[in-house]
A and B are shown apart, each in its own frame.
Chain A
């Protein structure tokens, strides 16, 4: 089972808001916070030798990526609604405790490594991780209705020269991505799990963004994401020619009034 990371850094939010932008992360996030377009995040101050505070660790619900994407599309009401749910997730006692435990796992480790440790070393942390992911995915499914925004989970299947070949869940055709991009994500190795997001920018322009994900060794194969069934696609209609005749087989139904809005 592959799961996306439920927490992201300030830099990831800034990059989602302004892909390729040059404004500082701090300034970008301050402006977004002032307009309630992202949540406050969860800050932890892990303690080092002799109990001294050893820096600050500040992470945000991954829903903030969806919030800033909406903000970038000038849909501030949607961004605020998503940010509000992100804040709700961040304020939960279980999330705060989970972040505190993550913060204790190695001062310089990447977010991916921390989550991998969380999922492999400690059953309690692993359970907490899956719970936070489940809530994040459920909230996104409720609030974000653009199919391309749903992260597609993938594994690095092979490395060829400058390109890594990814196999996407639910797809047979592989996708390639430059290896240097994966190196930045600490994910340039066969078997690395990734969450991919696509975004269309007009004719012939699609942005592909990769983020680290986690592959859990056990657990069932069904994703937490509950809508495995793909949406209908006019490019791939079902071929029924041999399965259904031209003659009607069902009588015209009697009309049964149905109350309420459709």
Chain B
């Protein structure tokens, strides 16, 4: 499936209803978890945390399809090279169930000539937003080990350093953005 380039927009508490209607799971437990988080928690989570840690929700929208993808990130602190710096935690990123794998025909591939999918584009939108904030260029995400598709996508964008998560079902993926 091919789609035009969606518009990116910051979402907030006023979009609670929009988020509540988001469907992004095909039935896997880790997809169900993310879908439930987006539907029931993300708006309030953002409303509460943004004052403390610069939490942001980014949505991708198409005129005729509405919200097609959503993701969020927030600041966290890491010790890097002996110093405590503000880095980024990627909270979540999800593509509407019926549009997973859809390709954006108007977006040029960046590094490997692969067509840019909605999933790739929501991550790029999040990274674009992160790059404009005053944070150290370190990004961390937590991905279910069974979620092969997301693991591949994360590696493709450069989240290549791995470390164990306290929850054995997940792995932490880290990357450093070129400055």
Contacts and interface: CB of A to CB of B under 8 A. Distances in A.
B176 A247 contact: yes
Nearest to B48: A141
Q: B-side binding surface: helix, strand, loop or mixed?
A: mixed
A246 B74 CA distance: 22
Given A231-B52, A244-B161, A226 B41 contact: yes
Interface in B44-64: 44-45, 47-49, 51-53, 56, 58
A256 B48 contact: no
Given A142-B13, A227-B49, A253 B174 contact: no
B161 A245 contact: yes
B110 interface: yes
A249 B154 CA distance: 11
B158 A250 contact: yes
Contacts of B177: 248, 250-253
A227 to B, nearest CB: 6
B159 A253 contact: no
Contact of A259 (B9, B111, B157): B9
Contacts of B163: 240, 242-243
Interface stretch (B17-25, B93-101, B122-130, B144-152): B122-130
A52 interface: no
A253 B137 CA distance: 11
A93 interface: no
A-B pairs, top 9 by smallest CB distance, nearest first, are A250-B158, A248-B178, A253-B127, A237-B77, A243-B163, A260-B10, A256-B128, A249-B158, A232-B76
Interface of A: 138, 141-142, 145, 147, 226-227, 231-234, 236-262
Contacts of A257: 8
Nearest to A236: B77
Contacts of B45: 226-227
Contact of A237 (B48, B84, B161, B176): B84
A260 B177 CA distance: 25
B119 to A, nearest CB: 14
B44 A142 contact: yes
A252 B127 CA distance: 9
A142 B16 CA distance: 12
B53 to A, nearest CB: 6
A248 B176 contact: yes
A50 B102 CA distance: 72
Contacts of A252: 131, 177-179
Contacts of A260: 9-12
Contact of B125 (A234, A242, A248, A258): A258
B114 to A, nearest CB: 14
